[in-house]
Amino acid sequence: MSDNLYSLIRARITDPAKTFIETGDGRRFSYGDTFELAGRFANTLVALGVQPGDRVAVQVDKSAEALILYLGVVAAGAVYLPLNIGYTLTELEYFIGDAEPRVVVCRPSVATELAPLAKRLGVAHCETLGVQGDGSLMDKAKSAPTAFTPVPRGPNDLAAILYTSGTTGRSKGAMLSHRNLYSNAATLVDYWRFTANDVLLHALPIFHTHGLFVASNVILLAGASMIFLPKLDPDEMIRHLPRATSMMGVPTFYVRLLQHPALTKDLVKHVRLFVSGSAPLLADTHKEWEARTGHRILERYGMTETNMNTSNPYDGDRVAGTVGFPLPDVELRITDPETGKPLVQGEIGMIEVKGPNVFQGYWRMPEKTAAEFRADGFFITGDLGKIDERGYVHIVGRGKDLVISGGYNVYPKEVETEIDGLPGVIESAVIGVNHPDFGEGVTAVVVGGKDCKLDEAAVLKALDGRLAKFKLPKRVFFVDDLPRNTMGKVQKNLLREQYKDIYTR
């Protein structure tokens, strides 16, 4: 049997009339509709010359069709490459140039800007897909046949590439195989007890692991349904929650829903599971949520490179401030970050993982890939943690210089490089500071020279259009010097301490 994820999903679906997606505005896609449209997309892509292994880059607004396009790409044996809709043309130039997709699919509104760029970078076709089933790709798909035999794939063949920003330089494309995606989603279906009776309230973006693989693949493998909302809109979520059995979100989802007066125990009485991940969930949020709804949020831990690694238990104690136990099939150890030697239980060190969930390496970056694996196959996550006496994993910090804002990763180096390039700037340090809504707020501390005429607004204006908006500093401060240790390294911990109250006071 082929390992093509699409074939494995199809094999599990017994009732084609069952609803897969219901959109916020009431459109409904049964599993039968979904497979027909995925077949049309796959046939369309093949007609555009897409061969197994070719990349199909997609930067479109969230819609049922966009998710079904993912299935069509996978069915065709091609490699799905989703891109954050916030990325600017400058950022897209890098991703497209690096991944060399055969086809780029974008929003109708940006096609006139993106098509010439894609052409210059050697992309064969630039197509569009809108939120109402419009666009050139849909036009072609409408006249394509629905029947498509999924292209046979081996377990290690690629199904997707997701870019994660690099701590030191260029963004890296994490290569995920059919087995990576299938094995992790199948594990989560069992671990979190998903069945065909489930209805997931889905308000996450579908260009990252959380909304695409954790949420959507789990629902597909369970043959369950989703209420598919374009984004986090608390009023809309409150409207749909009474029909949901489950919800997945980043901590900001829970923080914002708690601010809604209509969130009550009664509203969520049909929900059996709330999952949080992508960033640390504050113990206070966990407690407040339990007090308001009667539910203990289940927190889990994952990465783009690994899918999900650990989860709090479905039955048993969901401990606030921990990310639970390693999932079945996932080996997890804590090591000395310098030597890589395993540490004893309770000591803080580097979290390393190994299992069928762990990716195939970084696209065209063999050295970077080699540097992040131990000789015995463990992947070095860059997260610092410990395992307590009951076996729960705690994430206590990051060994990598990374800010997580509202569940999106922002690599300080990327923002610092842009700021350092502005006229008159000597240097800068970008840090994450406690933020009541986003968890961490991207914050820039800038050393301007004598001739520097910039102020906060001017820095932000200069960065706008070069970096996606979620990467832009929420505040910019000017200082005479950055604190350094004796080795000359900027002491970001001191800056984080100095600015720790700026978003909360």
Q: Where on the chain is the footprint of ligand AMP (CB under 6 A)?
A: 164, 209, 277-280, 299, 301-304, 323, 381, 383, 395, 398, 404, 409
Give the one entry of ligand AMP, ligand MCA, none that residue 398 binds, where binding means its C-beta sits below a cut-off of 5 to 8 angstroms depending on kind: ligand AMP
Q: CB within 8 A of 84, min separation 6: which ones?
A: 59, 205, 207, 208, 408, 468
By CB under 6 A, residue 130 contacts ligand MCA:
no
Q: Where are the alpha helices (DSSP H) in 48-127?
A: 64-75, 89-99, 111-120
| List 349, 407, 432, 473, residue binding ligand MCA (CB under 6 A) | 407
Q: Compute the least distance from the CB of residue 383 to ligand AMP, in Å.
A: 5
Single residue of 205, 324, 382, 432 touching ligand MCA by CB under 6 A: 205
The reply to whether 503 sits near ligand MCA by the rule CB under 6 A is: no
Please name which of 94, 142, 104 lies closest in space to residue 125, comparing C-alpha atoms.
104
Stretch binding ligand MCA (CB under 6 A), from 95-103, 151-159, 202-210, 483-491: 202-210
Give the integer Cα–Cα distance in Å for 270 and 22: 18
Instruction: Considering the complex, state which of residue 280 and residue 448 has its C-beta at the smaller distance from ligand MCA.
Output: 280
Rounded-to-integer distance, Cα 9 and Cα 220, Å = 6
Say which entry of ligand MCA, ligand AMP, none residue 250 contacts (CB below 5 to 8 A, set by partner kind).
ligand MCA
Residues sharing a CB contact under 8 Å with residue 371, sequence separation 6 or more, in sequence order: none
Sign of CA dihedral 260, 265, 266, 272: positive
Concatenated DSSP letters of 346-397: T--EEEEEESTTS---BTT-HHHHHHTB-TTS-EEEEEEEEE-TTS-EEEEE
Shortest distance in whole angstroms from residue 53 CB to ligand MCA: 24
Q: How far is the CB of 102 from ligand AMP (least distance, A)?
A: 26
Burial class (CB in 10 A: 0-12, 13-18, 19+), 416: buried
Pick 180 or 405: Cβ nearer ligand MCA: 405
323 binds, among ligand AMP, ligand MCA, none (CB under 5 to 8 A by kind): ligand AMP
Q: Which residue number, 229 or 303, has a Cβ lying nearer to ligand AMP?
A: 303
Token reading at 81: 């490459």
In angstroms, what is the minimal distance from the CB of 277 to ligand AMP?
4
Residues 6+ apart with CB under 8 A from 69: 38, 41, 58, 60, 105, 129, 137
- Work out whether 326 is an interface residue with ligand MCA (CB under 6 A): no
Q: What are the residues whose beta carbons fall under 8 Å from the beta carbon of 185, sequence distance 6 or more?
A: 213, 214, 217, 218, 220, 221, 307
**What gap in Å lies between CA 465 and CA 471, rounded to an integer?**
11
Rg, the chain, Cα only = 23
Using CB under 6 A as the binding rule, whether residue 411 contacts ligand MCA is answered as no
Query: Quick one: which of 180, 304, 369, 381 contacts ligand MCA (CB under 6 A)?
Result: 304
Q: Which residue has the tokens 């897909």?
A: 129
Task: State the binding partner of 406 from ligand MCA, ligand AMP, none, CB within 5 to 8 A by kind.
Answer: ligand MCA
Give the integer Cα–Cα distance in Å for 274 and 288.
14
By beta-carbon proximity to ligand MCA, the closer residue of 137 and 320 is 320
Single-letter amino acid, residue 503: Y
Piece of 29-37, 97-105, 335-343, 403-411 that binds ligand MCA (CB under 6 A): 403-411
Provide the 3-class DSSP secondary structure of residue 132: coil
User: Is the backbone of residue 87 left (phi > 0), alpha (psi -120 to 50) or beta?
Assistant: beta
Out of ligand MCA, ligand AMP, none, what residue 173 binds, judged by CB under 5 to 8 A for its kind, is: none
Distance in Å, CB of 117 to ligand AMP, minimum = 25
Which region among 41-49, 137-145, 206-214, 475-483 touches ligand MCA (by CB under 6 A)? 206-214
* Nearest distance, CB of residue 442 and ligand MCA, angstroms: 7
Nearer to ligand MCA by Cβ, of 198 and 383: the residue is 383
Identity (one letter) of the amino acid at 99? A
**Distance, CA of 276 to CA of 210 (rounded, Å):** 10
Nearer to ligand AMP, 81 or 404 (CB): 404
- Residue 299: contacted member of ligand AMP, ligand MCA, none (CB under 5 to 8 Å, by partner type): ligand AMP
| Residue of 173, 277, 280, 385 that binds ligand MCA (CB under 6 A) | 277
Q: Would you state the torsion angle of the CA atoms of residues 494, 473, 233, 138, taken in this order, to the nearest 10 degrees?
A: -130
Question: How far apart (Å, rounded) are the C-alpha atoms in residues 409 and 432?
Answer: 11
Taking a C-beta distance cutoff of 8 angstroms, is the pair 231, 252 a contact? no
Binding site partner of 470, from ligand AMP, ligand MCA, none, Cβ cut-off 5-8 A by kind: ligand MCA
Stretch that binds ligand MCA, among 75-83, 209-217, 369-377, 482-490 (CB under 6 A): 209-217
Please, which of residues 462-501 interact with ligand MCA by CB under 6 A? Answer: 469-470
Among 252, 276, 310, 311, binds ligand MCA (CB under 6 A): 252
Window contacting ligand MCA (CB under 6 A); options: 24-32, 150-158, 194-202, 203-211:
203-211
Nearer of residues 5 and 403 to ligand AMP, judged by Cβ: 403
In whole angstroms, how close is the CB of 2 to ligand AMP at the nearest point? 28
Between 235 and 367, CB nearer to ligand MCA? 235
Closest by CA position to 105, among listed 51, 143, 141 = 141
Binding site for ligand MCA (CB under 6 A): 204-205, 208-211, 231-232, 250, 252, 277-278, 302-304, 405-408, 438, 469-470
